[in-house]
Chain A
Amino acid sequence: MFDFLIHGFGVALTPLNLMLAFTGALLGTLFGALPGIGPINGIAILMPLAYSLGLPAESALILLAGIYTGAEYGGRISSILLNVPGDAGAVMTALDGNPLARKGLAGPALGLSAVSSFIGATISIIGLTLFAPLLASFAVNFGPAEYFALMIFAFSSLSVMMGKDPIKTLIGAVLGVMLATVGVDAGTGVMRFTGGLPELYDGIDFVVLVIGMFAISEILLMLEHLGSDSGRLAPIGRVLVKVKEVLFCKGAILRSSLFGFIIGVLPGTGASVASAVSYTTEKRISDREGTFGEGDMRGLAAPEAANNASAVGSFVPMLTLGIPGSGTTAILLGALMLYNIDPGPMLFSEQPRVVGGLIASLYIGNIMLLLLNLPLAGLFARVLTMPRWLLVPGIALLSFVGVYQLHSDLMAIFLMLAVGIMGYVLRKFGFSLAPIVLGFVLGGLMEQNLRRALAMSGGDYGVLFGSGLAIGLWCAALTVIVIPMVFSGWRRLKASAAR
């Protein structure tokens, strides 16, 4: 049964393919760390190169898959150091990663997140190796009604983020949902809130929103403080992560890896949903002292394990069904077609060399990524010692170039600036940005899938509870909302009884 994997290691361990896996890992980390350039654009940039170099199919795929998984590692770097997510999956990483860096723990934060990325990816690769065909049928059973229930579950998990200021969290999430309604309405083809601007027909681009919201507002905040402490260097502190710290997070890492993998397997959701669900779940389970959001190691480890697990998980529908599990795997499928390989249900049996080589290279690339990212942690952390007069224009440059190369259009830049100013004002009023971004991602998916489900049933709401999977998710959502209430009621009761 595992012949393909043994053959695969034979393919992946040739010097050329090892070198390509390493190149992919390195470039991927870099693409991921640069805001704006995510895995999709990284692969789009390198695909023609791989093709024109005349690389065989499996080698090209090894290089491109290395970039994909590498980008999920890289995204955390700018999240932690600059509070600017490097890619879609790294938004949640900033929540606890950046406070850690501000405390002088940038090195250990980078190290710990590299280790949890590694564990998340490893668990996911093992899952891919063992259960891929089995999971394929699970993935297609997930229809609009199930996705809608999943989004309800994700939203109900958001309630844990209410924390200090529930009203502001709620306003933020609603704002995100509202932003997600801009653009063409898929169900009717009608334009909503576009003001006649064609740039808004497709809605607000996620990357533009994230860069504007985080990077631009961060720049504005830095500028504000430029006069007061421009000479002060941020502390680097120690550089290495301790084994004890990894062990402290083991529960968070393992649970999040599993969540990430399953959500990654679903074609309609990706790293951003995976990291959001696992962060909020972990906060609910472990955050007894209320340290999440202020630099809790577990709050950093959870989303990082999840987004890497999810990236690998998205290979499952691609390899077993020929259906992309994410935007990035859609491009990888296109790359396969160039080699006259039909990515489809027959891929495993017809192209064992390609599939085996790819899976084996995921194992190898993942180890390379860990070895690459651990020693580099100290180096990256030095970014924080850069004086602000250098750092601010640096981030600005990266943001502008990143958004411009995505859109080749000035309008996208203006939109980014507008969103950035909005983000700055909100932060001045004490709003947290994460609920806005989550509301945007989850709200868009929730609305689309609700509309789809109702279009299928002809308006009958019963369809939303039409399967065991959907009902299970509804129950999970209910539990998440009700249990804390019961608990706090119970505690209050006990307290009054003791009195």
Chain B
Amino acid sequence: MSNNIVIAAVVAGAVGLGAGYALFSGQAPKTVEKETVTSAPAGAGTLDEVRARGKLNCIINTGLAGFAAPDDKGNWTGFDVDFCKAVAAAVLGDATKVNYTTATGKTRFTKLAAGEGEVLSRNTTWTFSRDVDLAQTFIGVNYYDGQGFMVPKSLGVKSAKGLDGASVCIQTGTTTELNLAEFFAGNNMKYNPVPIETNAEAQELYKSGRCDVYTTDASGLYATLMSFDNKDDHMVLPEVVSKEPLGPVVRHGDDQWADIVSWVLRAMMAAEEKGITSANVKELAAKDNKDKEINRLLGKDPLQGISKLGLSPDWAVNVISQVGNYAESFERNLYPLTIQRGLNALSKDGGLHYIPPIK
């Protein structure tokens, strides 16, 4: 008897499986189609979604000095946070309308893919496989970085080539571990990796002497150096072993949204180039400037296609008046860490930021 029950049950399960499969497989293409036309995660309409919600969801670091960290009052501040605010200012007219979602190096792409945020602004390196294989859209570079090494001066090391056999603290979840492996293998050197998830903890390990060397993006190294009581005992080695173009990321598939986010970034840089700051933007927006590009940026003269982007003409005014231009954000957040403009200066000042004309 019990045998019969088992057989009957197995048959029923198979029938259920089959029925479900038949039903849902018939449905599947339909859902996919509907989804690409209307709503998230990958579809268009991100702008409408953000407008309807009245808030921008922005994915940021769980805590990295200068880029994203909460102050004593609980307000997020930093270079990456400023960019979230700028997008909110452009899209919603109010830089404070942002929900911050924190992500670790590991969870950030899945969070973006799952639709938990519209913008990923978390010092993310632009690489081929992330762009193509993980189906993300990198909309530009807001910070040119490179992986460097920090050592105590007492070690007497002058070059990264002299690090054979060292213990190296690495921040994981990034491109760092691969760069490191390639650098050391390329120079026929051995090392002892100590992988750590967060910057704060990696610093502790380095300070305690658990590692000889701390490696991460150069910006992170300077941030770390700033937090030391005895800054002069440590140095950053001259070698930069990788290219780390960091930038905001959005999901594949919504070109309008990608354009908005990328032009917010360019508007901040263009504002610096044209000398527009949060202090004088209102004044410049009110008058007719000789430089017609300023007029177009600030909505005085018509900018072709701005309506296609779905933004109001004063979008850039909102961004610059509420957040500031690129230089202001940089100075506010990164100068305290003694980070210089260097590669991140505008091209006219010898840096790499070359802004397409606002025409």
The answer to whether A and B come from one shared complex is: no
Residues of A within 8 A of B (CB): none
Residues of B within 8 A of A (CB): none
